[in-house]
Amino acid sequence: MNLKDYAGISEQSDIRAIEAMAAKLAGRTILHVNSTAVGGGVAELLSRMVPLMNGLGLNARWEVIRGTKAFFEVTKGLHNALQGKGKQITKRMWDIYESVNGRNMDRMNLDADYVIIHDPQPALLVGKKKSGNWIWRCHIDISAPDRVVWHFLKGHIEKYDAAIFSVSSFAQSVSIPQYMMHPSIDPLSDKNVELSETEIAEVFNRFNIPMDKPILLQVSRFDPFKDPLGVIDAYRLVKKYHNCRLVLAGGAASDDPEGARVLKDVLEKAGNDPDIHVLLLPPFSDKEINALQRGAAIVLQKSVREGFGLVVAESLWKGKPVIGGNVGGIPLQVIEGVTGFLVNSNEGTAYRIRQLLVNPEMARKMGAAGREHVRMNFLITKDIKSYLALCLAMEKKGESVIYL
């Protein structure tokens, strides 16, 4: 994987800017830390970005914190609370959060010129900061957080040198500089690379999904915020008028213990409808997800809370119109009536699905517009350019020019 491979796909000006900035940053050490090696958007992103950064002459590493089952139950609670739907976090839970972060601090080598800590799970590692520039990269929707939980976390976040949010409405009142950077997809990864019709058909065949009628697809972790039950309701409303199939595909992330409970509810609600296909995907199902997205007629991402929603960019990149919840980063990607539709209810979702099913030409045009929108704004090259610009800006503290 090499920056040159993106010529002809990414904007040439982005590639040139990356080369120029990477030359200035040659040899700098960059450490990314998150809480899972597979599953979820952050792991997906880092698995591509870290090798590319190394190819640019930087010295990049990626480390994953180790946690117990109890720790991930607590951090999922924190995640939910920060996304505004939390239960109370007890003193015992805070203790677990702090002690697991503490154990990781002792275990991990956190020395680097730039330490980029992703999301709340490893956020307390900043307690070990001695030197270097520490950046907290928040990927979740923190626009309306539980005040108590945010107040606690904020005390730690303010020890960082800067924070990055995915969407401007997630910005918080903190004493450190804040930046807005969109996450991105890699057009050359197994998840997004072109596939032949035969490869696509082979995957559908393997999952026993006939491609005989239009396919509605949602790919997501089984998480209440992704509203898979609402998707089934919307499909049932559509099904009264149009013959179609629904595919709900998702896997479990090792830092998300809620998945099994939600999957059970989804299976129960799907009942024995032969046109609903619920797929529990193992890790490393990139080619399968790629094929499912390419074989779908319409992609849904009916989230009720969302950080950015990488699956939206992945699907638009494949020329599919996306019907998405009007939350988090989805409206940045789904431009109403241009690259898809934004929805707030099951009924609204069903209405827009029907509109696209009877109008394949509209669906095709939206898909094409979506692909170009992603190419211009949400490819990995844009993301790397922003990170390098941030690193340079942090080295030139006090200068008023911010390159982002």
Task: State the helix-helix crossing angle for 69-82 and 147-157, rounded to 10 degrees.
Answer: 110
For 155-175, give the DSSP string: HHHTTSSEEEESSGGG----S
Closest CA to 143 of 322, 34, 262, 304: 304
Strand order in the sheet with 340-343: 276-280, 245-250, 215-219, 298-301, 322-325, 340-343
Report if residue 289 touches ligand UDP, rule: CB under 6 A: yes
Task: State the helix-helix crossing angle for 41-55 and 310-317, rounded to 10 degrees.
Answer: 70
Least distance (Å) from ligand UDP to the CB of residue 7?
24
**Contact stretch for ligand UDP (CB under 6 A) within 161-169, 305-313, 356-364, 370-378:** 305-313
Q: Which of 44, 119, 146, 383 binds ligand UDP (CB under 6 A)?
A: 44
Report if residue 266 touches ligand UDP, rule: CB under 6 A: no
Residues 6 or more apart whose Cβ sits within 8 Å of residue 142: 82, 83, 150, 165, 170, 172
**Contact stretch for ligand UDP (CB under 6 A) within 13-21, 40-48, 373-381, 384-392:** 40-48
**Contact stretch for ligand UDP (CB under 6 A) within 72-80, 124-132, 303-311, 347-355:** 303-311
Report if residue 263 touches ligand UDP, rule: CB under 6 A: no
Report if residue 221 touches ligand UDP, rule: CB under 6 A: yes
Asked if 139 and 41 count as a contact pair (C-beta separation under 8 A), the reply is yes
Report if residue 41 touches ligand UDP, rule: CB under 6 A: yes
Least distance (Å) from ligand UDP to the CB of residue 82?
13
Report if residue 325 touches ligand UDP, rule: CB under 6 A: no
Q: Which of 247, 262, 310, 393 binds ligand UDP (CB under 6 A)?
A: 310
Report if residue 250 touches ligand UDP, rule: CB under 6 A: yes
In the complex with ligand UDP, the residue whose CB is nearer, 157 or 281, is: 281
Report if residue 255 touches ligand UDP, rule: CB under 6 A: no
Burial profile 209-221: b = 16 or more Cβ within 10 angstroms, e = fewer: beeeebbbbbbbb
Report if residue 40 touches ligand UDP, rule: CB under 6 A: yes
Report if residue 244 touches ligand UDP, rule: CB under 6 A: no
**Interaction residues for ligand UDP, span 78-107 (CB under 6 A):** none
Report if residue 219 touches ligand UDP, rule: CB under 6 A: yes
**Interaction residues for ligand UDP, span 374-403 (CB under 6 A):** none
CB < 8 Å & 24+ apart, contacts of 49-55: 49/380, 49/383, 49/384, 49/387, 51/1, 52/1, 52/2, 52/3, 52/380, 52/384, 53/384, 53/387, 55/1, 55/2, 55/3
Determine the residue type at 248: L
Residues that bind ligand UDP (CB under 6 A): 40-41, 44, 191, 219-221, 250-251, 281, 285, 289, 307-311, 314
